[in-house]
Structures are given as structure tokens and as C-alpha cells.
């Protein structure tokens, strides 16, 4: 078939020792945090969750559950310009879909007042100051990895002046960017994060929750640890890029003398042919490269869900990849492997013909319809069986016929006999061509003695193909997907280019006029099935009764595609 080939499937990763779990076990043994495990998942509501977030969710919720602890869902909403309620709603929906239940749902913006009061406390203690340098000057004064930084000329303001300026910043007296509040730490530190980091900036922006209550907003590094602390988080799990922010995380909670959660960093998930960055995914949506955040090609949880991935498959994938301390890239094939494994167990098989070729069974009675028994799922007896109607005119897949069969092509060709799944043996007796010389219809005969798929005389056929009775077929649109990017690493670009250059122009193929067996008449959006020999499919949100639409979730492993590829390569 001309379907996209599937990626090679690596064997599932062995269960790795999990260093975060080890830390939790040690902390329980030493009675740190009174033996309690409390984690949080802290998304910024500036986009939809992606597969990388699923790893973080599984880790945070999974570990807490394992130790009898709890997990909060906390929105890290300190950047009002980029955040929206739509994103909050989608995140809530996606975490639930993945199968996790939070203890409390909270917002960093709920803590704006205590976080502000802590800034007052730090100023009083001489550990923070209001700085009048602009962003560019702050950068210049900070210095580089080789040079130390310079003290801001405003560093030694009196406590009274700082308190007055802070109050006036909050009251809205100053324009955006004109002043900041900075922690007074160490301008000579080899860790740039400790060179008097900015705690507050002025931003006259309407926040999706606090409206216009605030015109100063705390920076991530200043808000995050204190939010964790307020919630009594014990283990604050984040990705590796925050490793050298940890000294700052620790500095704030130590200076404030409040509950001190332990920050632990793990490796980000990267996947081949995939980008996991909300900013870039937003660009794909805004520039119309995809149909939206939930486009089935998107690596968002909304996208893969619409495509037909299951939460069970996502969780088993996240378990298999484990966590570590070095960033790497996981094969997309491994994710697809987990999806197939799960769908194989749970979904019913049906027959669907995507690119139909009509076959007329010449020796079959004109008005006869036989209902042939078919097993729904050979992996699950409880799925039961159904019948499939058989009649004189059928559709088979165009690719299952070759007028001049190449070597190793065992399916239908003139004079050859094949088995129709759940049906009969048929032999191709002739072809009908159009003016252009293309085969548009086949003639065949069937052997009534082979009903159910076996020949009483022990005659063997080498291929079994799927089919649909023309008179009973449902029409459908089927959407086939390839990877959204054609490069294994979509960030790898020519000089002056960007990731958009690596978009795969063939990532979506829409087939109309596909023929489905009548069992699918009642299919509803979200229903998953296997189309025999073609892959796993999921009924799309666009589907309506009478105008069915299916997405291909993932192809089956296709041995013929491999042979064909090898032959072509010769």
C-alpha cells in the first residue's frame, strides 16, 4: 500500500531505576517532611499541554500516589500577556483525560499578596531593593560568565526609600519597564542567576484572573519556590534547565525562613520528528500550518487524543522511558509501539476499503446477501462477534490488485485466487478498463465451498484481503497522517532558516469515498477501531451520522511496504 511506513520499533525500554523515587524513599526513611510526599504539576497556561508535559504529569502524580501522597495542579500564571482562560480549561481537561486526579487546583496568582509581602520582608531585611535600571542596563551590569557583574547604582538605597518606591510601583505610578525589584545577592557569583535577579517587573496588563488588581508581576524564580512553599510541597520536580536556578530557589525560601521544598531536576522529553515547545506549537497554530491545537498531527495531548491515542498508552510510554539526568531523544516509534500494544488489546476489528476497486462476483446470485460471522477482537473473547454482509458486488483495495504482479506479490491478479476475510476464496477472471487503459473494475468467481475462509479440499491461498459489500457500504472520509516534520530533529535548519522549513508537506492525506462495513453506522467521535490490515483508526470530531470521518491513529506494521521499499532500493 502507498501508506506511510511506520518507524522501526525499538524494544520497550527496561524499567530504569528512578533516582527521584530513591530520593523520596530516603527522605521517608530519614523522616524529612514527616514522611509525607506532596508534589505539584505547575503548567503555565500559555498553550496546550504536550507530550513532554505528560511525562511530568505521570511523574508527579505517579510518584505521589506510590507514596500515599498528593499532587496539586497549580497554574503558574505570572505572565498575564501570554496566558488565557482557554489554556487553563484545556489543561484541566487534559490532566483528567490522562487519568489523574489532583488534590487541589490552585493558581500562583492566588499568592500574589503573600508573595508581595515577602518582597516587603526582604527589603526590610536589606536583601532586596528597587532598581531604576532598564532591562538592557540590567543585562549590561550583570556581566558575563567570564566577567563579574557591576553593582547597580541603586543597590544601596535606604530601606525607607525602597519601601516607598515598591508601594508606588504597586500603586501604578510608574510606566512598564521603568523599575524592578531585585534580590541583593552576589554580583560576583559564577552563577548568573544569583547576580541580583529581578523579583518584580512593572507590567500594566490585565490578568486572566486578577484583572487589573496588579501592575507589578513576580518573576518565575521569585514566585515558584514560594508558591511551592505555601502549598507544603515536599519534592518540587522540574526539568533540567532549572538546575542552576536551584541555588536561587533555595536562597529565597531560606531568607524568608519558610517551608523549604526540595527542587529535583529531570530530563525533558524530546521525540524524533516532533517539537515539544508551546511557543513553537503556538506558531504552527497561529500561522495556519495545522488546523488548531487539537489537530491530530500535533504533539499536544488534545491532538493525540483526537487522533485516537489512549491515556493508558501514554502512561505506559511514560513509564517505559523513565527519568534521568541527561537530555536525550526518544524514537517516535516507541510511542507508536505503546499505542499499538494498547489498541491491539482493546479495539474491535472491522473492514474498511480506503481506495476502492469494484469486484463483480460473476457466479454469485444477483439478489443473495449472506451474513458472514466475524470475530470482533481475536485478542478479547468478550468483544464477541458480528456478521458482515456479502453480496455480488464488492469493493477491495486498489493496492490489493496488480494486473502484472511483481515478484512476491501474492494478492489478487488475473487467474490468481485469494481469500476474502471471513468470506470466500475468489479468483480473478478478468478486468474492465476505462478509455485511459486503467483497471476500473474486476470480474471474479467465488467458490461457495470455501465459506468462512477454508477450502474443504485443502487448497491453499497465499493472501487474505479485506473487502466491503458495495450495496451495504458506508461512505466515509479518512484522514491519514505522517509526521508533522520531515526531519528527525525539526530544529536542525540551514543557516537563516527556522523549524517551519522542516514541515512535512505530506503530513495529511484526506481520502474521500472510502467504504466501511455497516457495523460502523453508529460510530461516534472518539470511537476507536482497527481497520483490518490498515491500522488503528479513531472517529473524528468532525464526524456526523451519514458523513463519517476517521483519523488513522497509527498504521499496523506493514510487511509489504518493507519489501516494496527494499525492492525499490535495489
Site residues for Mg ion per CB under 5 A: 44
The sign of the torsion formed by the CA atoms of 122, 123, 129, 130 equals: positive
CB-wise, 83 or 417, nearer to ligand ATP? 83
Say whether 362 sits in a helix, a strand or coil: coil
* Options 40-48, 77-85, 134-142, 500-508: segment touching ligand ATP (CB under 6 A): 40-48
Is 208 a binding residue for ligand ATP by CB under 6 A? The answer is no
Residues facing residue 530 across a β-bridge: 349, 536
Q: Which of 44, 312, 341, 477 does the annotation list as catalytic?
A: 44
Q: Give the whole-angstrom CA distance, residue 174 versus residue 192.
A: 27
Is 335 a binding residue for ligand ATP by CB under 6 A? The answer is no
User: What character string, x for contact with ligand ATP (CB under 6 A) and - otherwise, covers 49-88?
Assistant: ---xx-xx-------------------x------------
Measured in degrees and rounded to the nearest 5, phi and psi for residue 131 equal -120, 135
Q: Which of 82, 155, 209, 268 does the annotation list as catalytic?
A: 268
DSSP class of residue 215 equals S
**Residue from 397, 455, 399, 401 nearest 423 by CA:** 455
* Options 39-47, 106-114, 147-155, 176-184: segment touching ligand ATP (CB under 6 A): 39-47
Taking the complex as a whole, the smallest distance from the CB of residue 292 to ligand ATP amounts, in Å, to 17
Is 261 a binding residue for ligand ATP by CB under 6 A? The answer is no
Spatial contact of 360 and 442, defined as CB atoms under 8 Å apart: yes
**Site residue total, ligand ATP (CB under 6 A):** 15
Determine which residue in the list 278, 306, 515, 528 makes contact with ligand ATP, applying CB under 6 A: 278
Taking the complex as a whole, the smallest distance from the CB of residue 193 to Mg ion amounts, in Å, to 16
- Residue 300 CB contacts under 8 Å (≥ 6 apart), including other chains: 48, 49, 50, 51, 281, 293, 294
CB-wise, 53 or 386, nearer to ligand ATP? 53
- Decide which of ligand ATP, Mg ion, none touches 55; Cβ closer than 5 to 8 Å per partner kind: ligand ATP
- Decide which of Mg ion, ligand ATP, none touches 296; Cβ closer than 5 to 8 Å per partner kind: none
DSSP class of residue 352 equals E
Taking the complex as a whole, the smallest distance from the CB of residue 283 to ligand ATP amounts, in Å, to 12
The sign of the torsion formed by the CA atoms of 48, 49, 52, 56 equals: positive
Residues facing residue 41 across a β-bridge: 73
Is 276 a binding residue for ligand ATP by CB under 6 A? The answer is yes
Determine which residue in the list 165, 181, 269, 426 makes contact with ligand ATP, applying CB under 6 A: 269
Determine which residue in the list 24, 238, 335, 461 makes contact with ligand ATP, applying CB under 6 A: 238
Q: Give the whole-angstrom CA distance, residue 58 versus residue 62.
A: 5
**Does 438 participate in catalysis according to the annotation?**
no
Burial 196-230 (b: 16+ CB within 10 A, else e): bbbbbbbbeeebbbbeeebbbbbbebbbbbbbbbb
The sign of the torsion formed by the CA atoms of 411, 417, 420, 426 equals: positive
Taking the complex as a whole, the smallest distance from the CB of residue 44 to Mg ion amounts, in Å, to 5
CB-wise, 38 or 53, nearer to ligand ATP? 53
Residue the block writes with cell 507514596: 67
**Does 278 participate in catalysis according to the annotation?**
yes
**Does 155 participate in catalysis according to the annotation?**
no
**Catalytic positions:** 44, 268, 278
Interaction site with ligand ATP (CB under 6 A): 42-44, 52-53, 55-56, 76, 238-239, 268-269, 276-278
Amino acid at each position: 500500500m502507498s501508506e506511510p511506513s511506520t518507524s522501526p520499533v525499538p524494544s520497550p525500554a527496561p524499567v530504569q531505576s528512578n533516582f527521584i523515587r530513591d530520593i523520596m524513599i530516603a527522605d521517608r526513611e530519614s523522616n524529612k517532611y514527616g514522611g509525607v510526599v506532596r508534589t505539584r504539576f505547575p503548567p503555565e497556561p500559555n498553550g496546550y499541554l504536550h507530550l513532554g508535559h505528560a511525562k511530568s504529569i505521570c511523574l508527579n502524580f505517579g510518584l505521589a500516589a506510590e507514596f500515599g501522597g498528593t499532587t496539586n495542579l497549580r497554574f503558574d500564571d505570572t505572565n498575564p500577556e501570554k496566558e488565557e482562560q482557554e489554556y487553563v480549561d484545556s489543561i484541566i481537561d487534559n490532566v483528567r483525560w490522562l487519568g489523574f486526579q489532583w488534590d487541589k487546583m490552585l493558581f500562583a496568582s492566588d499568592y500574589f499578596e503573600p508573595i508581595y509581602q515577602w518582597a516587603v520582608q526582604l527589603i526590610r531585611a536589606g536583601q532586596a531593593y528597587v532598581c531604576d535600571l532598564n532591562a538592557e542596563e540590567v543585562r549590561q551590569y550583570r556581566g558575563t560568565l567570564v566577567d563579574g557583574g557591576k553593582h547597580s547604582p541603586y543597590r544601596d538605597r535606604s530601606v525607607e526609600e525602597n519601601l516607598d518606591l515598591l508601594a508606588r510601583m504597586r500603586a501604578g505610578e510608574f510606566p512598564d519597564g521603568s523599575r524592578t525589584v531585585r534580590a541583593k545577592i552576589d554580583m560576583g557569583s559564577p552563577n548568573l542567576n544569583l547576580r541580583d535577579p529581578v523579583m518584580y517587573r512593572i507590567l500594566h496588563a490585565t490578568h486572566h484572573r486578577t484583572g487589573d488588581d496588579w501592575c507589578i508581576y513576580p518573576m518565575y524564580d521569585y514566585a515558584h519556590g514560594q508558591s511551592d512553599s505555601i502549598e507544603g510541597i515536599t519534592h518540587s520536580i522540574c526539568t533540567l534547565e532549572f538546575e542552576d536556578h536551584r541555588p536561587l530557589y533555595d536562597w529565597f525560601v531560606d531568607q524568608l525562613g519558610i517551608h523549604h521544598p526540595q527542587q529535583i531536576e529531570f530530563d525533558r522529553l524530546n521525540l524524533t520528528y516532533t517539537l515539544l515547545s508551546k511557543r513553537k506549537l503556538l506558531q504552527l497554530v497561529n500561522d495556519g500550518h495545522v488546523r488548531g491545537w487539537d489537530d491530530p498531527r500535533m504533539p499536544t495531548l488534545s491532538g493525540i487524543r483526537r487522533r485516537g491515542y489512549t491515556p493508558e498508552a501514554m502512561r505506559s510510554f511514560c513509564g517505559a522511558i523513565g527519568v534521568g539526568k541527561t537530555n536525550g531523544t526518544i524514537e517516535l516509534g516507541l510511542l507508536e509501539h505503546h499505542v499499538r500494544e494498547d489498541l491491539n488489546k482493546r479495539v474491535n476489528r472491522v473492514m474498511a476499503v480506503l481506495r476502492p476497486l469494484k469486484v463483480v462476483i460473476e457466479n454469485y446470485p444477483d439478489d443473495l446477501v449472506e451474513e458472514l460471522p466475524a470475530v470482533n477482537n481475536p485478542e478479547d473473547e468478550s468483544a464477541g462477534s458480528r456478521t458482515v454482509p456479502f453480496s455480488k458486488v464488492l469493493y477491495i483495495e486498489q493496492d490489493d490488485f496488480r494486473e502484472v504482479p511483481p515478484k512476491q506479490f501474492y494478492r489478487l491478479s488475473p487467474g490468481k485466487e485469494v481469500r476474502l476475510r471471513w468470506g470466500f476464496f475468489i479468483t480473478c477472471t478478468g478486468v474492465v478498463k476505462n478509455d485511459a487503459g486503467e483497471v476500473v473494475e474486476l470480474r471474479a468467481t467465488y467458490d461457495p465451498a470455501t465459506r468462512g475462509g477454508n477450502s474443504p479440499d485443502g487448497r491453499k491461498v497465499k493472501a487474505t484481503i479485506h473487502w466491503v459489500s458495495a450495496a451495504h457500504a458506508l461512505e466515509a472520509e479518512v484522514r491519514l497522517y505522517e509526521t508533522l516534520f520531515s526531519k528527525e530533529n525539526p530544529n536542525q535548519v540551514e543557516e537563516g532558516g527556522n523549524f517551519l522549513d522542516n514541515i512535512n508537506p505530506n503530513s495529511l492525506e484526506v481520502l474521500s469515498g472510502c467504504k466501511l462495513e455497516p457495523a460502523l453506522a453508529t460510530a461516534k467521535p472518539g470511537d476507536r477501531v482497527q481497520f483490518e490490515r490498515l491500522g488503528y483508526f479513531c472517529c473524528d470530531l468532525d464526524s456526523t451520522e451519514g458523513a463519517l470521518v476517521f483519523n488513522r491513529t497509527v498504521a499496523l506494521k506493514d510487511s509489504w511496504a518493507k519489501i516494496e521499499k527494499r525492492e525499490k532500493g535495489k
